[in-house]
Amino acid sequence: MSLEPLRVGIVCPYSFDVPGGVQFHVRDLAEALERRGHSVSVLAPADDETPLPDYITPAGRAVPVRYNGSVARMTFGPMSARRVRRWVTAGEFDILHLHEPVTPSLGMLALWVASGPIVATFHTALLRSRALQVAHPLVRPSLEKIAARIAVSEDARRTLVEHLGGDAVVIPNGVYADVFEQAEADARWTGTPERPTIAFLGRLDEPRKGLPVLTAAIPAVLEAIPGARFLVAGRGDTGAEEAREALGPLAASVEFLGGISDEEKARLLSSVDVYCAPHTGGESFGIVLVEAMSAGAMVVASDLGAFRRVLDDGDAGVLFPNGDSAALARTLVTVLRDPEQRRRTAQRASAVVRRYDWSVVTEQVLTVYEMVLAGGPRVRVGEDPSSRRGPRPAETEES
Question: In a structure prediction context, what are the per-residue pLDDT tens digits for the chain, which is 399 residues long?
Answer: 567 999 999 999 998 887 788 999 999 999 999 999 999 999 999 887 888 999 999 988 877 666 555 656 667 778 888 999 999 999 999 999 999 998 888 999 999 999 999 999 999 877 555 555 555 566 677 888 999 999 999 989 998 888 888 899 999 999 999 999 999 999 999 999 999 999 999 989 889 999 999 999 999 999 999 999 999 999 999 999 999 999 999 999 999 999 999 999 999 999 999 999 999 988 888 899 999 999 999 999 999 999 999 999 999 999 999 999 999 999 999 999 999 999 999 999 999 999 999 999 999 999 999 999 986 677 888 755 444 444 444 334 433
* Domains 7-174+357-395 and 177-355 fall in the same CATH topology: yes
Q: Does domain 177-355 sit in CATH 3.40.50.2000?
A: yes
- Cα–Cα distance for residue pair 179/245, rounded to 1 Å: 36
User: Would you list the domain boundaries of the chain?
Assistant: 7-174+357-395, 177-355
Strand partners, 274: 198, 298
**193 in helix, strand or coil?**
coil
DSSP one-letter code for 342: H
DSSP one-letter code for 75: -
Backbone angles phi, psi at 206, to 5 degrees: -110, 105
Check if the beta carbon of residue 230 is closer than 8 Å to that of residue 253: yes
Structurally, what CATH architecture does the domain formed by 7-174+357-395 represent? 3-Layer(aba) Sandwich (3.40)
- Torsion angle of the four alpha carbons 217, 218, 224, 228, in this order, in degrees rounded to the nearest 10: 140
- Cα–Cα distance for residue pair 389/270, rounded to 1 Å: 50
Stated pTM of the model: 0.85
Residues 6+ apart with CB under 8 A from 245: none
Read off the amino acid at residue 23: Q
- Cα–Cα distance for residue pair 204/210, rounded to 1 Å: 8
